Amino acid sequence: MNISALGEFELIARLTAGLTSRADIGLGVGDDCAILDLGNDQLLLATCDSQVEGIHFTLRTSTPEQIGRKALAINLSDIAAMGGVPRYALVSLILPPQLPVAVLDSIYAGLRLEAEQYATAIVGGNIASSGKSDQLTIDITLLGTVERGQAIRRDGAQVGDILCVTGSLGDSAAGLHTLLHPDPSYPQEVQEFLRTIHRTPRPRIHEGRVLSGLGSQVVTAMLDISDGLSGDLGHLCERSHVGARLDLVRLPLSPELHIVAVSVSHDPFQWALHGGEDYELLFTVSPGNEYRVIEAVQSTTGTRVTVIGSILPPDEGMRLLYPDRREDRLAVESWDHLKR
Amino acid sequence: MNISALGEFELIARLTAGLTSRADIGLGVGDDCAILDLGNDQLLLATCDSQVEGIHFTLRTSTPEQIGRKALAINLSDIAAMGGVPRYALVSLILPPQLPVAVLDSIYAGLRLEAEQYATAIVGGNIASSGKSDQLTIDITLLGTVERGQAIRRDGAQVGDILCVTGSLGDSAAGLHTLLHPDPSYPQEVQEFLRTIHRTPRPRIHEGRVLSGLGSQVVTAMLDISDGLSGDLGHLCERSHVGARLDLVRLPLSPELHIVAVSVSHDPFQWALHGGEDYELLFTVSPGNEYRVIEAVQSTTGTRVTVIGSILPPDEGMRLLYPDRREDRLAVESWDHLKR
């Protein structure tokens, strides 16, 4: 049997079953970051994520600088998803020997730009050759910190909690669509808006900090949307042992997404529900606190927060409420790194 | 210009020039590990290193379990080279979709075995597809700790210091030679000895701990030999702004290395001087302390320590003393990840 038959998440579960648990490990594999306890007030957050040419990016659809920025941004987003502060990055590059120095210079300039923007220091790394394979890989480990007791995990959602999301959904998937299927009929500014979100997602560090500052009695669980809303909601439900109901009509969709969806006759809710790489924060709030949370994030960061559903008992599974109040099971159609 | 024309070390210098220095960064890019200061007694060590199929290993010359063990061992060796204690690993895998699950299971079993042996917890990671490339990559970030003031860096060597090395040199290169050029005339146990060192190097964690415990007045600089003795001595000299003299006749060579060298008419000192992947510790000791250091390491760990030379003023460069007391410039012929 090949690994593609198992898929990413089953494979991770298989490989990491029964891993060591220890007093100095607050949380191991299975969340956006590991939480490590070195005995001081600040806990350490650690995460790694890679970008592989031909799988996650191509030099045809992004500039080298954008590729560098995004490779760091997706890791910053994992720190954001715990409510932490990013601190240190280690950058591992696997490079085709024939790669032009100018391309690598630009990738690294993008990395450094993104790092500076979020006060993250590049403190280490590695360079290896990809040999005969002409595939460029950027693998980054990011370390951050969070105050003891303030990390927001995936597993804290309770029945009755309110489900919220930052920003808008599906823009990255729509932006990718305009890159893969160029069409002069898209208005220029619409396509630029969506492509920018796809190429250089903005990690929600400041928003995550506001949320973790509110305390785990208020914000009960959180992750970032990288695989797609349906898939990542599935991760949250699985780890919290709960179900959830998404209210389709409430999903925050940008005007730009609607414009492209109409133009190519694509269902915009498909992108919002299942499109990956939004890098927005999906989180749950204890009931009655939602307006306070929305106000806190919006007033501090200017980022919109939208209530999109609620947490149900586990036996209800994941459900989707249609505009006509019909309800159906929510199918997960999101990204699997091995199955595609 | 392509990156292979620049080479690994020039490229790293180019990319990382002028990186942020900050109060919470004891040491950034340029040593075996970064040293990070989160404000407590223990400083954090961070390092990453990758193993790429076809470049660093092949499934023809190592078992999947050996590949997993070595991928972690080379990172453990970087923690050893600072005198630290390994703590946490993040394992990033880039996998061909057609990889058999059984092969991955064995690689991960090797990783877990090596981790357990050195009390290292796997706390995170990532899985990505290599897509059309059939190249397997294992990229590991390892975090460790070291007592404040006890990390041994590359840049502390002083003129007059004594140059020492653990274990024996060149065995890994000779082991690789027997794998690439199989010959039934090698005695079985000789070839097994050398191949084991090549396939599953033993990180010198315990030896590194003894050395850092002696204090930076005694052990002044250290690194691990991954690129080859000549190349890594070059790194030490460059970072410490010193020269060095290696005494050829003193280099510790195993009997097994001599047997294979004679059998294939290869100069054993070539392997000892320039063969990579020894993962022994190369370190400098303040003059007069060398016997105390040798005794401390040997009595605690059973590992041999050998005096192989001394530190010279920078304008002397790197020199090689031949058995007939003739002296010559020591040329670096070691591993460059981009040039080969």
**Is the confidence at residue B193, as pLDDT, over 80?**
yes
**Strands annotated E in B159-240:** 162-166, 219-224
CB spacing of A123 vs B44 below 8 angstroms? no
What confidence score (pLDDT) does residue A175 get? 95
Cβ A35 vs Cβ A43: under 8 Å = yes
From the list B1, B29, B104, the residue facing A100 with the nearest CB is: B1
Which residue is listed with tokens 């010193």?
B242
- Counting residues of chain A whose pLDDT is more than 70, the rounded percentage is 98
**Is the confidence at residue A334, as pLDDT, over 70?**
no
Residue A114: what residue type?
E
From the list A6, A121, A127, the residue facing B11 with the nearest CB is: A127
Give the pLDDT band (50/70/90) at residue B18: confident
Q: Measure Cα distances from A13 to A17, A29, A221, B310 in Å.
A: 6, 9, 21, 51
What confidence score (pLDDT) does residue A336 get? 65
**Rounded distance, CA B173 to CA B270, Å?**
10
Smallest CA–CA separation between B85 and chain A, in Å? 13
**Rounded distance, CA B193 to CA B189, Å?**
6
Least confident of A183-187, B126-130, B163-167, B235-239: A183-187
Chain B contacts of A4, Cβ < 8 Å?
Answer: 97-98, 129
From B153, B133, B110, B102, select the one nearest B282 (Cα to Cα).
B153
**Is the confidence at residue A28, as pLDDT, over 70?**
yes
Most trustworthy range by pLDDT among B2-16, B49-63, B303-317 = B303-317
What confidence score (pLDDT) does residue B340 get? 47
Smallest CA–CA separation between A135 and chain B, in Å? 7
Element (H, E) at B286: none
CB spacing of B48 vs A90 below 8 angstroms? yes
pLDDT digits (tens, 9 = 90+) for A193-228: 999 999 999 999 999 999 999 999 999 999 999 999
**Rounded distance, CA A161 to CA A221, Å?**
10
The ipTM assigned to this model is 0.93
Smallest CA–CA separation between B262 and chain A, in Å? 32
Least confident of A62-71, A81-90, B51-60: B51-60
CB spacing of A101 vs B29 below 8 angstroms? no
What confidence score (pLDDT) does residue A337 get? 62
**Is the confidence at residue B337, as pLDDT, over 90?**
no
CB spacing of B116 vs A15 below 8 angstroms? no
Chain B contacts of A82, Cβ < 8 Å?
Answer: none
Most trustworthy range by pLDDT among A118-122, B1-5, B179-183 = A118-122
CB spacing of B44 vs A44 below 8 angstroms? yes
Average pLDDT, chain B: 94
Give the pLDDT band (50/70/90) at residue A333: confident
**Is the confidence at residue A182, as pLDDT, over 90?**
no
Least confident of A180-194, A216-230, B150-164: A180-194
**Rounded distance, CA B283 to CA B261, Å?**
27
pLDDT digits (tens, 9 = 90+) for A126-178: 999 998 888 999 999 999 999 999 999 999 999 999 999 999 999 999 999 99
What confidence score (pLDDT) does residue A340 get? 46
- What is the pLDDT averaged over residues B94-113? 95
- Counting residues of chain A whose pLDDT is more than 90, the rounded percentage is 81
From B154, B176, B180, select the one nearest B28 (Cα to Cα).
B154
From B256, B262, B264, B272, select the one nearest B194 (Cα to Cα).
B256
From the list A1, A4, A90, the residue facing B141 with the nearest CB is: A90
Helix (H, G, I), strand (E, B) or coil at A86: strand
Q: Measure Cα distances from B81 to A272, B153, B222, B230 in Å.
A: 49, 8, 6, 17
- Phi-psi map region of A309: left, alpha, beta (phi>0 left; psi -120 to 50 alpha): left
What confidence score (pLDDT) does residue B291 get? 96
From B225, B175, B180, select the one nearest B200 (Cα to Cα).
B175
- What is the pLDDT averaged over residues A10-32? 89
pTM above 0.80, yes or no: yes
**Rounded distance, CA B314 to CA A330, Å?**
69
From A154, A143, A91, A141, select the one nearest A119 (Cα to Cα).
A143
What confidence score (pLDDT) does residue A335 get? 62
**Rounded distance, CA B126 to CA B146, Å?**
27
**Rounded distance, CA A290 to CA A282, Å?**
13
From A262, A192, A272, select the one nearest A230 (Cα to Cα).
A272
- What is the pLDDT averaged over residues A85-114? 96
Chain A contacts of B138, Cβ < 8 Å?
Answer: none
Q: Which residues are CB-contacts of B230 (< 8 A; sequence separation ≥ 6)?
A: B273, B274, B318, B330, B331, B332, B333, B334
Residue of chain A minimizing CA distance to B146 = A38
- What is the pLDDT averaged over residues B175-184? 90
From B36, B130, B150, select the one nearest B88 (Cα to Cα).
B36
Q: Indicate which of A36, A90, A103, A147 best probes the interface with B, i.e. most B CBs within 10 Å of its own CB.
A: A90
Cβ count near A184 (within 10 Å): 6
**Rounded distance, CA B227 to CA B216, Å?**
25
Q: Which domains does chain A have, with CATH numbers?
A: 40-147 (3.30.1330.10), 162-329 (3.90.650.10)
Give the pLDDT band (50/70/90) at residue B317: very high
Instruction: Give the CA radius of gyration of chain A.
Output: 20
Q: Which two tokens stand for residue A175?
A: 């932006």
Question: How far out from the chain centre does Cα A284 lie?
Answer: 16
